[in-house]
Structure formats: structure tokens, C-alpha cells
Amino acid sequence: SYVSSGRDLLVAEEARQGTSELLIWANPDFDAAPDATSSEDAVRFSIARESRGLSFVPLPGSETEGRALRDAARAFGFDTAILHVGTNATEAALNRVRSPRALHFATHGFVLPQMETSLDAEEVGFTSANHIALTRPSAMLRSGLALAGAQHSLRARARGEEVPSQNDGIVTAEE
């Protein structure tokens, strides 16, 4: 969804109907091999050079947090609470979500630096400039969350392998 104004974030009481569901992603298995069920091109998270320094270590405390939150969900007014941990804390599971009342992520987040690349003007067909600087992808592609399979996908990309971005374990802010 896109919002063009802050007032679009205000929801009328009658529009809040639906499930009173809490969905929790905690302690994903970052080394799990994600399902390669998508044929979507792998260019979506094409910031391989910038992502080389990322390393996602297990977060066992986040699983404890997720379980405690799930167990207390009724006290917070939720009808149901579903916990996704380990190999089940996937991007594919997140993509199947439709209108829960709340999502809770207990995982690593990242923001990559903005890198610049220089090109010679002749390479891109410009004649009035000797040198042109191109910025890398927007902040929406350079930031996100790590879910199950994220570290596995980063290692595969570092080896030059294509990884479908639909379920690579990396959910960018744009996604």
C-alpha cells in the first residue's frame, strides 16, 4: 500500500473489522536454504557489493520474546497469535499474510550505506560532461529485515549465484 498523506494512516473505527490476529517472526534460521519456488529475477536485491559485510547471527533471546508475546496475546486483546520461528520464519510466510491486526519482528534489521559509482560520460552517451556520478539504489532497497535463509542467500550471491528475491530471507523496505 502507498500513502500520499499522513491522514491516510488514520483508520476509521468501522474499517478496523477483520481478524484480531498477532503474527510474530522470531529467531529465524538465517542459514536455512530458502525454497527456490519463485522464478522472479534476482536483480531486486542487487546491492551485492554493499551487502558483503552483513552477517546475521542467531537470536535465541528473540525466540523467548516471541513465545512470551504469543502466550500473552489474549491479555493484549488478540483472538489468535501465530509464532514463526527458525526455518518457519520465512519471507514466503510473510508474503501470505493478509491484514493482521499486528506484526511483530524479533530479528536483525539493516541499513546499507549509499554508495556512488562513477561512469565516464562517453559510456552513457553524454557529451557535455566528462564524468557523471550515479547513486546506488534508494534507501528502500538498502534497508530491511533478515528472515530465514538470509545469510544463505547472501553467501550464494557472493559466489555469483542467482537467488530469487521472492523468498531469499531478505525483506527490503520496498518489499
| pLDDT for 157 | 84
pLDDT per position as a tens digit, 100-126:
999 999 999 998 887 665 555 555 555
135, with CB counted inside 10 A (0-12, 13-18, 19+), is exposed
In contact, 26 and 87? CB cutoff 8 Å: no
| pLDDT for 158 | 84
| pLDDT for 167 | 86
Q: Which of 104, 106, 97, 83 is nearest to 19 (CA)?
A: 97
pLDDT per position as a tens digit, 3-52:
767 666 776 544 455 569 999 999 999 999 877 654 444 444 545 555 66
| pLDDT for 14 | 46
Confidence of residue 53 (pLDDT cuts 50, 70, 90): confident
| pLDDT for 47 | 54
In contact, 45 and 161? CB cutoff 8 Å: no
| pLDDT for 93 | 95
| Residues whose CB is less than 8 angstroms from the CB of residue 14 and which lie 6 or more positions away in sequence, other chains included | none
pLDDT per position as a tens digit, 62-83:
999 999 999 999 999 999 999 9
Q: Which three cell numbers stand for residue 34?
A: 530458502
Residue type at 130 in one-letter notation: N
In contact, 140 and 63? CB cutoff 8 Å: no
Q: Residue 91 pLDDT > 80, yes or no?
A: yes
